[in-house]
Amino acid sequence: MASKRILLNCDLGEGLGPWRMGNDAEIMPFIDCANIACGFHAGDPLIMQKTVAMAAKHKVRVGAHPAYPDLLGFGRRSMALSPAEVEATVLYQIAALDGFCRAENSKIAYVKPHGALYHDMLQNDATFKAILRAVQAFDSSLPLVILAQENVEHWQALAAKFGVKLWFEAFADRAYTDSGALVPRSEPGAVIHDATAMLSQALQLARSGSVTSLAGKVIQLDVDTLCVHGDTPEALAAVQAIRASKEFS
């Protein structure tokens, strides 16, 4: 049975210029951690500044949410960056967000890659090591958030070489394959849009440390943090319901 408290996180600050995404101001009071876009897949200096200020106001931990330099694709397309380019790209984004945190007498609490970069680091050890090098260079005490899996020893061993701690993440609003991976967004049923279903998945993770795949397989996961994407229409209702449960209160 799961016993530790799972931190509730949400991807925020993902607007750009006059274009807004999600209900950041409404969601912020209900979460533990805000994954703030750093300008490469979404976000701009003003939005980053305002989102960090909101997080500081509500005493929410700030996470850097770096991505591939892919504004048009919202960071959800893989890019052929070399390991050196990945390292520099991630370090650049963490440092940019850190500037706004310092201005608010706050600090970055962890790093969570976004979109295709998040998935690619688990498919390519060179990409994973490049991200670890960036975190190590900035502040090796910062946890790196990666997808929770049944077997995590490989990732823990790699992270240990860089002195970086891992936080394992599950999702309330994404469907799982039998292997424990997220169902690709291009496939039907990949995103859970119903707030009640999101709550049900969150409670299963908190109570039994498991998630049920789209095909019905129960997968055991050791989870540190649970994500609700801020860009889904039911995100606010889901976050409020999850926070209201005794498991996440």
| Tens of pLDDT, residues 140-156 | 999 999 999 999 999 99
What are the phi and psi torsion angles at 192 (to 5°)?
-90, 120
The CA distances from residue 243 to 63, 172, 206, 221, in Å, are 19, 12, 12, 20
Please list the helix, strand and coil fractions of the chain in percent, rounded to the nearest 5, in that order. Answer: 40, 20, 45
What 8-state DSSP symbol labels residue 129? H
Count the alpha carbons within 13 Å of 187 in the hemisphere toward its beta carbon: 9
213, two tokens: 């795949």
Q: Tell me the C-alpha distance between 54 and 4, whole Å.
A: 27
What's the pTM? 0.96
Position 64 scores a pLDDT of 98
Contact 246, 234 (CB under 8 A): no
- Residue 1 confidence (pLDDT) above 50: no
Rg (CA), the chain: 17
pLDDT tens-place string over residues 158-197: 999 999 999 999 999 999 999 999 999 999 999 999 999 9
pLDDT in tens, 4-59: 799 999 999 999 999 999 899 999 999 999 999 999 999 999 999 999 999 999 99
Q: What is the pLDDT of residues 68-105, one digit of tens each?
A: 999 999 999 999 999 999 999 999 999 999 999 999 99
